[in-house]
Copies of this chain bind each other. A is one copy, B any other.
Amino acid sequence: MENMHLDQHISKQFNTDLEKLRTAVLEMGGLVEGQLADAVKAIETGSMRLAEKVQETEDEVNQYEVNIDAQCTEVLARRQPAASDLRLVLIVSKAIRDLERVGDESSKIARMAIELSDEETDPDGFVELRHMSSNVQKMLNAALDAFARFDVPAALKVMREDKHVDREYKSAIREMVTMMMEDPRSISRVLNVIWSLRALERIGDHARNIAEHVIYLVRGTDVRHISIKEIEKQLDQDQ
């Protein structure tokens, strides 16, 4: 079974509860995807309006986290779910924490956009930023997709992609250090780029976490702290 379905419960109300949880996570996911896209665009275009928009959305994202978590607790208390239903509730509670952190990191990028826009000089490091942000946005989108469809192969793909993003991050940081050494006047500006790269790398980690949650949900296997090769082997054996 690669995918999982939610329509197997005797109680219709229970189905509705679980479906609501899933929808709420995807709504929250859409919101933070928007924050990330806006934050990246704010850096590229220097748009203050976009940067402020990202920060204004924080409250809404936080409210989503608190509300969904309360819903999870209520479903646990009232429905006492077991097996994959229980796992769904538990991973929802974990995934929203990851999404909230993605929102936080996007806000940090927006803050850097505001600081960078004061600078008159050329935007060193923007090539690296653009490249990495495009990959991280794709990763986050794929992780949410894997969650929406309870799709294990898609989740595994996200986990593999994270390794690639980590490598990209390290090489971008090296570039930035060279830039600072060659032109010490650029130090404070390049540091802002470094913080943004760092935030993107963290967002990649959260996307990977969401992917791990999906695998746990569908397969009942906790794959945190296990290498991707090892996971693939385990999943093969299960089939």
- Which positions in A face B, CB cutoff 8 Å? 59, 62-63, 65-66, 69-70, 72-73, 76-77, 80, 82-83, 86-87, 90, 93-94, 97, 177, 180-181, 184, 187-188, 191, 222, 224-225
User: Which B residues are CB-close (under 8 A) to A83?
Assistant: 77
Q: Could you give 20 example pairs across A and B, Cβ below 8 Å?
A: A59-B225, A62-B225, A63-B225, A65-B225, A66-B222, A66-B224, A66-B225, A70-B222, A73-B87, A76-B86, A77-B86, A90-B93, A97-B97, A177-B187, A177-B188, A180-B180, A180-B184, A180-B187, A181-B187, A184-B187
User: Which B residues are CB-close (under 8 A) to A180?
Assistant: 180, 184, 187
Indicate whether A62 sits within 8 Å of B224 (C-beta atoms), given known contacts A76-B86, A77-B86: yes
Interface of A is mostly: helix
Closest to A69 in B: B222
